[in-house]
Amino acid sequence: MTQTMASMKLIVTLLVAHIVASASAVSYSRPFWSQTSYGAKTYLNATSAVSDLNVFTNLTVEAIYVSNTSMRLRVYPTSLKAGQEAPYVVPDVVLPGNTAPASATTAATGTVYNLGQHIPAGGGKVLEVVPNSDDDPTAYLTLENLVFNRQLVSFTTSFRGTTDKLYGYGEHDYHYFLNTEDNVTLSLWNTDNGTPWKNPMYGVHPIVFHSDPTNNRHFGVFWANSHAQNIHIEGDAITYTAVGGIIDLYLIFDTTPMGVVQQYHALVGPSAVPPYWALGTHQCRWGYTNLSVVEAVVAGYEAAGIPLEVMWNDIDYMDQFRVFTTDPTRYPQAALKAFVEGLHAKNMRYIQITDPGVAQATDYSVYTSGVAAGVYVNTSTDGKPLINAVWPGWTVFPDFTADKAAQWWAQQIAQYRALVPIDGMWLDMNELGTFCAGQCDVAVGTPWSVDWKTVDWSRFTVDICMPNNCTVVNSSLNYPPENPLFNGYQLYNKTLDMTGVTSLGRYYETKAFYGLMEERASYEALLAQTGERPFLLSRASYAGSGRYTAHWTGDNTATWGPKEGGLYDSVQGVLAANLWGIPMVGADIGGFGGTTSEELVVRWYQLGVFYTFTRNHHDLQGPGQEPYVFSELAQSAIRDAIFTRYRLLPYLFTYLMLANQNQGPVLRHLSLQFPTDSNTYADLMQFMVGDALLVSPVYEQATSDYMARGVYFPAGAWYHLERTTLLGLPTDKGITVIFGFNSTLYGIVPVFVRGGNVIPFHPTPAMTVTATKASGIGLKVFFDRNESSIGQVQIATDAPLESQNVTVVNFLGVGTLRTGSLVTMSATAPKLNPTLTTRVPVYVRFPICDELTPNATINVTIDGVDVTESSLSNFTCSGFDVLLPLGQDGSTVFHLQWTTSGFAPTEAPADAPTSSNTGAIVGGVLGGAAGAVVIAVAVYFLKFRHVANDYNEVPMRQEV
């Protein structure tokens, strides 16, 4: 599709309905649209009597014009027969505005949408959404083979199987592009499921994005449904299935994939901006057996000179694994409080894990206060708290969908923080994850004697659950007519009985957003108690969880390759979470399960410092993987990687702020940034951080001392980040460069900057974020071939954003080395440091290196004052460096101008790379992700201005 969205006219055509029930087909009367104030409406009525109460025979279809680029399609029962139960609709507290009456911001006349009356004879189609374009006849959405029963809602939609790329639907350990394989089923259901290939994991995000780079056609389909569900992709069709609810589809269209994603983020709500300190590095492990071990970890980091911002504790700190307690022997409360206060004195932070399960014990005030307040998920039979088993034994679970439970939870947090002043919360096991299925009929005080260090998980059900009357209610809620979960995974497996009762519905309907409601309650509690933006890390998530929490990819493994749940797959996970609207995301560096290696930890840090959330975390088994336990060489590489991150904190924070302002994800697959370059759809391991940074991590274990990494550069001017040097590549087409490096020295992972961007950075990384921030904000200015460069920095305190005037400084550079300027603009212009003694560096670089004569000179002024002699350094043909006075808030506003004289005549073409011994270029990648063919168009030797021998000459590669 080549026309702009403004000229696009959508036709929504309602066709003959052919609805298939579980036993027989249902025919419906010929429908007719009627215009409404919000769009159009029609009805489908069964033409013959249907006795099955599970089948809805009278349906209303609404087409709601939300805006010129989005619409909503709702199919729901018009009326109910006696004994029929209304389908569940996701409530507003989960998805704001979802249950509001149909309305639209776009008038029904004069819009870019039209409703057609074409009704072809026969067939299984119910609905089509198509563009009104002669050169693009393919429908965006079709509703075919529609089934609308009480516990089975399903429809099939066709798509361009040969050109469409599908992505977004999650959470799984799977390919970024969902249709990488044919005939695949992916299901959604919050499960404590580790990182199993294809199986459902911790989150439910029923959004499928479509991108067709061939026709520049991009749209998204979000199904507002909280039931267990799946999609089946086969050929050129997707079948959506859920075990209840209504068909409530939000359709989003745009001329770019970024525009589609931004509209989806606007729908589910603005993402939370973490406090600045949360961007530092984090350390955790399950198995820090006592406080002395934790103190030793902090000391180990300090002795190694490796920055550590936040120390964490897993469940080890608890008394009998009871939430909001500390073990009196291993983690005595007074000593732990003193330890945390000591961290605070050093500008460090402390976070603990918090599970939702509450031990059922009469000597435990958290439990008894919850009983008194009536805050737990109840059984459907006797209305008493539903019991299952987790770490503390027999356990009950707060019903976070109830306001009174959220208030009670806030009280527990406040009481505990008075004892141990934690700086954030880690919300785990909130899928809900349990150890038995369903519910357990055990009396309060029933003894618990499981030794978690020696437990045989393969026999847990037989040895623990069954003898204690843990069963599943014989109900269609536990055994729906059709199970949509992958590989027959049961709805009740490792979780509560589906008949459990919450304030917003049965657990069958509310489980998907249980974690989100805990996140909401925790966020609001911490915000009220601290007056600062809270930092939460949650394992479970639902559409909109990004409003409250950060996320990590769960219990991963210490492995390298794809389909193993390790380093490679982590990139797919963090990119997907950014699509869902959770920009603050990472993976357990080094791997949570299994025994890692020094090489893997180093490579993972070199990748993980570019996650938005950077944490090293390991399980109870095996040796530790803190950076300081490895060789000096490894420590040096990890330290360098972390210092790179700390320098980039202003850039990372700015893009987290922009994500909150609905300007798109922070971490982006290349295709999201360069949708018209079909080559960007092939590499699943390269990604962008914001608009400017291209990260190409090493994701394979070394087989020799020498390694190579192919990096694809889309068209444009590209620079090396750390050395601020131009790569000298052709700028008019994408090209692949193979970088060689000595694997035994670990080297520096290629991280590059796209020309045309200004990168704000902290000049001097230090051991803490506070100390790093004190060095102010410098700039790296990288011009593109259009002789321009733009950027922004946003500066805020950790207070709520709405309570402060956020400093926003925009940068605009124009010109070449010969003459140009860099102008800054800010609505809240900071004052300069009156002493002008504190200065920050600005590096200005250009895409063409015009050779200078020996007597070449440059004149540089700041706000009209000549600073050539006092502030200028490193003046070469590629650019110059200059020192600028620092603003009192860490930024500065200025007008920088320069003029250069003394250029030597230029004979070589501007795009020709200069000679050196650094790498080979191959390029243009043809075809898709599988079986990509690389055509060698040229071999150049590139000139990098860097420490020698980081990259070595390698032969031409015929494949990447």
Active site amino acids = 428, 431, 555
Q: List all residues 6 or more positions away from 101 whose beta carbon is below 8 Å from its beta carbon.
A: none
Q: List all residues 6 or more positions away from 5 whose beta carbon is below 8 Å from its beta carbon.
A: 68, 69, 112, 253, 254, 255
Please give the Cα distance from 568 to 561 (Å, whole number): 5
Pair 466, 491: CB distance under 8 Å: no
Pair 696, 711: CB distance under 8 Å: yes
Phi-psi bin for 553: left (phi > 0), alpha (psi -120 to 50), beta? alpha
The string of DSSP letters for 669-727 reads: EHHHH-TT-GGGGT-SS-EEETTTEEE----S--SSSEEEEEEEE-SS-EEETTTTEE-
Question: What tokens were used for 203?
Answer: 């989150």
- Vertex 533, ends 532 and 539: CA angle to 5°? 135
324, with CB counted inside 10 A (0-12, 13-18, 19+), is buried
Q: Burial code of 742-764, b = ≥16 C-beta within 10 A, e = fewer?
A: bbeebbbbbbbbbbbbbbbbbbe
Q: List all residues 6 or more positions away from 466 whose beta carbon is below 8 Å from its beta carbon.
A: none
Strand partners, 778: 761
Count the neighbouring beta carbons within 10 Å of the beta carbon of residue 703. 8
Instruction: Find where tokens 């002789």 sit.
Output: 787
Helices first, then strands: H and E counts in the chain: 15, 59
Strands 788-795 and 125-131: unpaired
- Vertex 388, ends 382 and 393: CA angle to 5°? 130
Please give the Cα distance from 392 to 390 (Å, whole number): 6
Please give the Cα distance from 883 to 602 (Å, whole number): 34
Q: List all residues 6 or more positions away from 489 whose beta carbon is below 8 Å from its beta carbon.
A: 187, 189, 191, 193, 199, 200, 483
Please give the Cα distance from 350 to 74 (Å, whole number): 46
DSSP H/E element including 388: strand 388-390
* First-residue to last-residue Cα distance in the chain: 30
DSSP 8-state assignment for residue 663: S
Pair 240, 157: CB distance under 8 Å: yes
Please give the Cα distance from 252 to 342 (Å, whole number): 50
DSSP H/E element including 258: helix 257-268
